[in-house]
Structure 1
Amino acid sequence: MPARRRAQIAFSDSAAKQLENLTDEHQIHALDRSLVAISVDPDIGDPIPGDTTQPELRQYADDTEHVRVLYFVTALRTVVVVAYIEV
């Protein structure tokens, strides 16, 4: 059985700006671990309640690392677009 491919991670303009402002090494590593988890399994996050848009906006939260990521997945599930980062 072939290994499942990871989805690529892309950032919206606002998420890219948030990423640029991260300077704390611990926060950067925590975010990186969260992004790896999302890229391996894009369905890991929970759908945002009440969101009826397509593609569906999802939320991944890691309470241990204090990371929250809002994202959506493209139709072919090959790209995850990060819309918002909270670290």
Structure 2
Amino acid sequence: MPSPHGPRRARIAFSDSAAKQLESLTSEAEIHALDRALVVVSVDPEVGEPIPGSAAGPQLREYADEVEHVRLLYWVTALRTVVVVAYLEV
């Protein structure tokens, strides 16, 4: 039986550099746009495009929302329960 609350969302965590970028956001419009993008990624961590690179580390992905002008670089933990944002642009 499906959950009445919908699919489980992944938690969002920020790397140190992304946390510093987050602290620099000042306008409510930027914060709102970022929040919307984070919800999209937390509901479907596979939504972003894989970034080609080494298979040695976590697979980086890029999610870009052209309407909200937000770009996220992130990776997803092995169990798909946490999305770690490495870089953000708003």
Same-fold call, TM cutoff 0.5: yes
1:78 and 2:81 are equivalent in the alignment:
yes
Tell me the residue number matched to 2:53.
51
The aligned length equals 86
TM-score (norm 1): 0.94
Question: What is the deviation of 1:8?
Answer: 0.1
Question: What is the deviation of 1:4?
Answer: 1.8
**Identical columns (%):** 69
Opposite residue 38 of structure 1, the aligned amino acid is V
Which of the two has greater helix per residue? 1
RMSD: 0.9
SS at match of 1:42: coil
Q: How does 1:1-87 map to 2 (within 5 A)?
A: 1-2=2-3, 3-48=6-51, 50-53=52-55, 54-87=57-90
Q: 1-side partners of 2:41 and 2:76: how far apart?
A: 10
Q: 1-side partners of 2:84 and 2:53: how far apart?
A: 16
TM-score (norm 2): 0.91
Q: Which has the larger radius of gyration?
A: 2
